[in-house]
Structures are given as C-alpha cells and as structure tokens.
Amino acid sequence: MKQKQFETYTAEDTQRLGQKLALLLRPNDVITLSGDLGAGKTTFTKGIGTGLGVMRMINSPTFTIVKTYHGELPLYHIDAYRLEDSEEDIGFDEYFNGDGISVVEWPQFIESFLPDERLDFIFERKAGDKRLILCEPKGEFFEYVCEELAR
C-alpha cells in the first residue's frame, strides 16, 4: 500500500485537492473520507463536485444519508453518520456499482458494505486551519490515483 500525505492550510486548498482528484476518477469508483467533525470531509467533497461539473451547492446531508448530484458523472454523497447504531444496508450496492462516483463520509459505520478496491482518505485537524490528509489506496488503480494526486 503506497500512502501519500497532503497538507492544506485553507478550505480552498482542500477543495482544490478534491477537484484534482475528481479528474482522475472513473465511473464506479468509491472514495471514503474519515476524520472528526469539522476536519474537512464535506469541503473536500465540494471540490470533487466542482471537478465533476456539479453546479448545485454540496452541503452536509444531515437528514438524508445519500444525496445524488449530477455532473459529468453522477456523484453519490453518502453520509453514514446516522447509521452508527444500525449499520443498516440501505442498498449501497446500487451506488457502489452504479455509474457514478461514491464519496462516503463516516465509512466505519458501513465497513462491511464497502468494496475492497477503493480510495480511503483520513483527515486530521492540526493547529489553526492546517489539515493533514492521508491518502490510502486499496488496489493498483488507486495507487496510481494517489501518485498522480501528489504530482
């Protein structure tokens, strides 16, 4: 597993990283975003949306678990936070095997439904606005994606 590490100092930097990532992805790809509240997961997702040409504003899907956005590819923004106690399958296959990009916040709550091949990001809050973003590829294609992202 070839990890890469990124540091950002503003929300815009984090969005730009997400935007760059979007251009490297293919239909069916699954991205997970871990890290505490306020770490920057949704900010990163906004960047992915921009990269995919989504025009609508992406926000935290507080009351819905999945929000679908339409860009060059569909973007499935999944927030599993509310599944913490149930780990319920709400038909994830349909998203993970659909023809869009799935971005999952709080993936630990739906671990057993996640595909083995995926790209995991771990967000850590540092002093001030600094964020440490670790890219952990699962599978060869995502190793390539991580490397390209770091170029």
Ligand X SMILES: Nc1ncnc2c1ncn2[C@@H]1O[C@H](COP(=O)(O)OP(=O)(O)O)[C@@H](O)[C@H]1O
| Interacting residues toward Mg ion by CB under 5 A | 41-42, 60
Tokens encoding 139? 């599978």
Q: Which is nearer to ligand X, 45 or 143 (CB)?
A: 45
**Quick one: what does residue 53 bind among Mg ion, ligand X, none, with the CB cut-off 5 to 8 Å set by partner type?**
none
Q: Which is nearer to Mg ion, 1 or 37 (CB)?
A: 37
Q: Which is nearer to ligand X, 28 or 50 (CB)?
A: 50
> What minimum distance in Å lies between the beta carbon of 105 and Mg ion?
5
Q: Is 22 exposed, middle or buried (0-12, 13-18, 19+ CB in 10 A)?
A: buried
Radius of gyration, alpha carbons of the chain = 14
Note the residues at the interface with ligand X (CB under 6 A): 8-11, 13-14, 35, 37-43, 60, 129, 131
**Quick one: what does residue 40 bind among Mg ion, ligand X, none, with the CB cut-off 5 to 8 Å set by partner type?**
ligand X
- The answer to whether 33 and 48 are in contact (CB under 8 A) is no
**Quick one: what does residue 43 bind among Mg ion, ligand X, none, with the CB cut-off 5 to 8 Å set by partner type?**
ligand X
Q: Which is nearer to Mg ion, 12 or 148 (CB)?
A: 12
> What minimum distance in Å lies between the beta carbon of 15 and ligand X?
8
Q: Which residues lie below 8 Å from residue 52, measured CB to CB, with a gap of 6+?
A: 22, 69, 71, 72, 73, 75, 101
SS3 content of the chain, % helix, strand, coil (to 5): 35, 30, 40
CB atoms near residue 94 (< 10 Å)? 11
Residue nearest to ligand X (CB): 40
